[in-house]
């Protein structure tokens, strides 16, 4: 990998890490909450993934909307975070334009709501299944960040 590409990748990863850690500090001790088991009426619906997509679960993620959120099947993930309070995927392929087009097409079909969309700036935010997500990209890298709502 050439130095300019490495600098761009490290810069993109730095941005993701800053976004991932923002809001995670301070405060008192974390007290775990106990949620009742879902009943059939409030259980997470089964989502049919697009034929050209791959779920977070299929990518090995354990946290987040792992069955409902997907990325293009051709995704190459160069960095990831898989925590209960933050799920991140940094992609080197396909292009940010292609990932954005995929998300615009598939998010509404799989139960997510696109809240803000800047097609010229390759940025969007979305919500669904108790998670808030964001997507951003440039000519070499793109990233998806998911956090509990």
Closest CA to 75 of 47, 100, 111, 46: 100
What is the radius of gyration, based on Cα positions, of the chain? 16
The yes-or-no verdict on residue 19 having pLDDT over 60 is no
Record the pTM: 0.71
The yes-or-no verdict on residue 27 having pLDDT over 80 is no
The yes-or-no verdict on residue 115 having pLDDT over 80 is yes
Average pLDDT in the 26-30 region?
Answer: 43
- The pLDDT of residue 35 is 41
CB atoms within 10 A of CB 97: 13
Q: Quick one: pLDDT band at residue 22, thresholds 50, 70, 90?
A: very low
- The token pair at 141 is 């890298």
Average pLDDT in the 4-19 region?
Answer: 49
Condensed to tens digits (0 to 9), the pLDDT of residues 36-78 reads 444 444 455 678 899 999 999 999 999 999 999 999 999 999 9
The yes-or-no verdict on residue 82 having pLDDT over 60 is yes
């Amino acid at each position: 990998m050439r130095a300019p590409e490495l600098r761009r990748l490290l810069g993109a990863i730095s941005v993701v890490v800053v976004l991932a850690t923002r809001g995670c500090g301070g405060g008192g001790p974390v007290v775990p909450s106990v949620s009742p088991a879902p009943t059939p009426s409030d259980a997470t619906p089964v989502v049919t993934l697009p034929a050209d997509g791959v779920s977070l679960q299929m990518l090995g993620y354990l946290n987040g909307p792992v069955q409902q959120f997907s990325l293009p099947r051709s995704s190459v993930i160069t960095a990831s975070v898989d925590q209960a309070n933050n799920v991140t995927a940094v992609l080197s392929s396909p292009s940010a334009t292609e990932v954005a087009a995929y998300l615009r097409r598939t998010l509404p079909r799989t139960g997510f709501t696109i809240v803000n969309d800047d097609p010229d700036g390759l940025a969007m935010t979305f919500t669904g299944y108790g998670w808030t997500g964001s997507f951003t990209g440039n000519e070499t890298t793109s990233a998806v960040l998911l956090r509990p709502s």
